[in-house]
Amino acid sequence: MLIQDMHMYIMENVNMDITFTNLKELYERVLPALKAKSEELRRLGFEITERQIWDFLKEKKWKNSYNLLLYQMVDDIINLENIVIIDYYKKD
């Protein structure tokens, strides 16, 4: 695929509505971001799983949110302050 063709494909699909029929589909879609955050925490010496990050954000950040966009969720995952989630799970 030529770069111009790839650019057109991306531009045509930017406004595409993505819907998920269940939480499992959504979880799988954001899993790469969850893995990246989990790996970042692991490099700092903390074993916090992708599922723990997901559960934390569902309970603490997204609980009362509606119509979140995929990019907003990925942004929340990537920009989650490490100390916040570390402190949350240290209490357990």
What does the pLDDT look like over 28-66, one tens digit per residue? 999 999 999 999 999 999 999 999 999 999 999 999 988
Q: Does position 13 have pLDDT exceeding 60, yes or no? A: no
- Give the domain range for residue 77: 19-90
- In a domain? residue 60: yes
Mean predicted lDDT score pLDDT of the chain? 84
- In a domain? residue 65: yes
- In a domain? residue 50: yes
Total number of domains in the chain? 1
- In a domain? residue 10: no
pLDDT one-digit tens code per residue, 17-29: 677 888 899 999 9
- Return the C-alpha torsion angle 47, 51, 55, 57, nearest 10: 80
Nearest to 32 by CA among 85, 65, 77, 84: 77
Q: Give the whole-angstrom CA distance, residue 53 versus residue 57.
A: 6
**Residue 70 near residue 18, CB atoms below 8 Å:** yes
